[in-house]
Structure 1
């Protein structure tokens, strides 16, 4: 007869499990890393506050400061903003919007076609050359760009004389002349902006469309363009903002012959036309900031939506 099995377990089995390691060291490490990361951002925040915050405060203060023409006393009011929406100032603001919108639409179409040709090209060297050149030309502007076009297509430019463009009524120092000059740096910018989106189009989408009997036009109409629409609109908004803020090229080429808000701001600050309009120039600058804010409010959601589609 066997002895009954005892209910007592062995000492090793009966010993309780070791308690989990405390999470306090890990939590302290995380808080320490968070503090160090926050301290690393402090120089950037200080630089932003000095470089952008102080000018913004000065612009707001001047835009809303109205001087009494009789006593010269300064007070806060909306007189400068009201003046910036009237007369020549309003004409200049609308002229900048028209020039920027026209240049942005043309650059978006031309840049899309060029980028598509580069993406579908089997020559890798061509792609690298076009993207490299686009990166350089997108940042080429100001007085050097104006001088290059004046020497080439101005009244006494090389191509103007060789092709007899003066007889056809061509003038570089006009609205469409500025559009042509702006396209020189806006088209490369559009190529850089839309190329990643074109790379994100899946080859499986094209194959599936072809297997279902879709033509090339139907593929672009019902598949590619709807997917690219956020990127296209985002690029269009970015081009509009770049053209809207351009100053040096237009100032060197046309002066005040084409009404632009940036040129009006420069004239008001320097007292070139009227004296004592510095605060109106700041109000015009505030108008530009508001337009740029609207542009960014449209651009950022479009970029996020495009990233979700092409991820």
Structure 2
């Protein structure tokens, strides 16, 4: 690893070579708790100084796509330019490969030099799950005990860890997947983690049987048909929707949106997320009825949960802003270690 005095600037001088931060190094740097805390402390200021464009989404085939997500700042407090390049190949599950893969490249906004490139597959898993974890601090009941994880793909263990970090009262995790064996395998793997002593994990094959038990229901699938039925959500539940990022995708039905108070990670969710786009078109909810976005919750501009009986819904589609903040933490930690 590159070494730097802790009192020196976090950006190497112009003669320094770009560094590569592998997936293993990234995972040794980040924890879900530290990234949730970093988002909470930096998101309000960073959102005010970072600039982004609309995510560029290019279909490569009927099922696969390429996404480009740039972000930049000219402020000396966050002097970076970053670009994430992501491929989405959902059919990769049949090949035992991640469906989402990519790279993140970080530049200096002062000199334009390339500072680092890093694995954005792991970066995306961490930042996506920690955005949900941060949202659950404001939207889930803080005495929540049961988490229902819908999906057992690469993002599922990260979401479970993020929610457990954000809501320490959680004691039971049900994992559902269309392939029951995947859910059971993930549950067994998590049972071996000493970090989760006192938390029980169980794989299950019938979502309708367990979704009503969930104080938090977190979804990370590629489904284009509703999986979570709103009528089955318990009073006071928090529904976390992560999987969909285009209008044809949806993880819950209209009833879940109708019953819940909806919040989003950023405004792009209003035009990209199938659950919301469809609900708007069908008159289930109006755009101005969306309760607010994540940065408004963190700043205290909007109030999240106002009653223990209310159902809350958080829909995230990802943003270049949280990519940049996550990459900043990884890079600055790396060069100082």
TM class, shorter-chain normalised? under 0.3
The structure in which a higher percent of residues are strand is 2
Quick one: higher RCO (CA 8 Å, sep 6+), 1 or 2?
Answer: 1
- Normalised to the residue count of structure 2, the TM-score between the two structures is 0.22
The structure in which a higher percent of residues are helix is 1
